[in-house]
Amino acid sequence: MFKGSIVAIVTPFRNGRIDKTALKELVKWHIRHKTDAIVVNGTTGETPTLSREEQKENIYTVLEATDSRIPVIAGIGSNSTEHTIDNAKTAISCGVDGLLVVTPYYNKPTQEGMYQHFRKISELSPVPIILYNVPGRTGVSLKTETVMRLALLKNIVGIKEAGGDFKMVMELASNLKNFDILCGDDALNLPMASVGSNGAISVTANVVPNLMSRMYKLIEKGDFREAKKIHLGLRHLNSVLFIESNPIPVKAVLSLMKKIKNELRLPLTPISAENMKKIKAVIDRYYPEIYKL
């Protein structure tokens, strides 16, 4: 259902407010460069700093710009099941095509607690749900057997795996039919595809949507030789995009590309001058073509 190059899109700001004009232009730019779907209100979109009204504003803006040409998936997760359900109802009322639901963070639920959390959301959702496993940010990790149980529930159609658990990916790919496995770590996009993933929810796609789209189309055709060339060619970019906490570096690059202002919300701050120099050096040396995208 959801596959290929899915961008975890940034939220552009201007003078402290969402820059809807810039966001619409980003979405249209992604469509021109064959991005397969858009995740709005994810971590890359600085959702923890957005009010509920701003989250709705983001969703409506992206939906308007896509005009049903590609799917729109809303990040709705929190560490409260009831809060997550409220977020889900809001996103569904806006008309999204899917929900991305992160494992509850900070309060560290058990596997049974996470199962019940996702079960509650699946019971109310008429749209597909993608699980999001990112232990580096949440402090908990879904186990393979828990994902297998969840895959039996209504509308749970896939997982974004950002914990680098290749064994889980192989088990899911081997045992589940029509279950989307999406890579959540751009450095692992090709390796994870080799053992069963069918796409990525990507930070790097914010900057090079054309290359990410091309790589996944090659993977879908089984042409791993050519896909490998793209993946290895992106290794320097994948590295510098995480030189500081996401989305600090990717917003810096998009500002160099004149797509957005380099503005974030506290507690995130613009990239340091030293790291901006490093990013610019990498772009100028390896990816000067992105200034023309």
- Catalytic machinery residues: 132, 160
Intra-chain end-to-end CA distance of the chain, in Å: 28
Cα R_g (the chain), whole angstroms = 18
Nearest partner of 124 among 71, 84, 75, judged by Cα: 84
